[in-house]
Amino acid sequence: MKLKNKVGIITGATSGMGKAMAMRMHEEGASLVLNGRNAARAEELKNTLEAKRLDSVAIMIGDVRQVATNELLVKAAIDQFGQLDFVITNAGILGLGKVTEVQVEDWHATFDTNLHSVYYLAKYSLPHLRNSRGTFIGNASIAAFKNFPNHPAYCASKAAMVALVKQMALDYGPDVRANCLCPGPVDTPLIWDSAKAFDNPEQAVAQAGEKTLLNRLGTPDDIAKLALFLVSDDASWITGTTINIDGGIMSS
């Protein structure tokens, strides 16, 4: 197993890409501290994972926009499992609306979720990742490089996340590897929320898949497989980079 005896934190882990990552990392032997805001989904995920390996999962319900939530995630990893080897940030929201239309509170909530929470978790996890020569992964988006109608808060926050994670790679290498995943259109609840910015949401989602060179939407597990590679020793010479995983849509 690629992650045997490894311990990781995954935020936004109770649905979509985060859940797929949790499932795949656990299958590869990792013990996990998982975060989400939906208690029912979190409990269901914990029961599913612990049915395979007892005492290998800790679930923490909490809002990553709060500094204390991130500090407690790191504390849980150290207290329960004794170490921390990788961190993956998945929590994200959209904050839809043109600059003149998006509400100020929605703008701040988007940056608090997509950017500030990444800083908070990095602040508390990096000392432990340095000790373990671990890995930090930010789940960004091709929206860091490509703009979409009515998505200024989302695009700006994802671009800032990319810059932040690259800075970590510079400041904390060679002890810590830090990289960003940049997914394209993936079939998760978020893409359907994003499609509300378009006149015909169902058509917008279908066209997003058709515009990829592989003529389909990505799946959460497509992203999870790449995340697994990046946190494993197979990627031991990869840091400070962004990897688009988008079915080729950025080349179309």
Amino acid 190: pLDDT? 87
> Which tens digits make up the pLDDT trace of 81-118?
999 999 999 999 999 999 999 999 999 999 999 999 99
Angle (CA) 66-70-71 rounded to 5° is 110
Report the chain's mean pLDDT, rounded to a whole number.
95
Q: Is 211 exposed, middle or buried (CB count within 10 Å of its CB: 0-12, 13-18, 19+)? A: middle
Q: What is the pLDDT of residues 61-72, one digit of tens each?
A: 999 999 999 999
Question: Which among 61, 83, 63, 66 is positioned nearest to 74, based on CA atoms?
Answer: 83
Residue 52's pLDDT band, with cuts at 50, 70 and 90, is confident
Instruction: Express each pLDDT in 190-234 by its tens digit.
Output: 888 888 878 888 898 999 999 999 999 999 999 999 999 999 999
pLDDT for 180 equals 98
Q: What is the average per-residue pLDDT within 5-19?
A: 97
> Active-site residue among 120, 124, 154, 172?
154
172 annotated active-site: no
Give the whole-number percent of the chain exceeding pLDDT 90. 90
The per-residue pLDDT for range 156-185, each reduced to its tens digit, is: 999 999 999 999 999 999 999 999 999 999
Global pTM reads 0.95
Residue % of the chain over a pLDDT of 70: 100
Q: Angle at Cα 248 formed by Cα 242 and Cα 250, nearest 5°?
A: 65
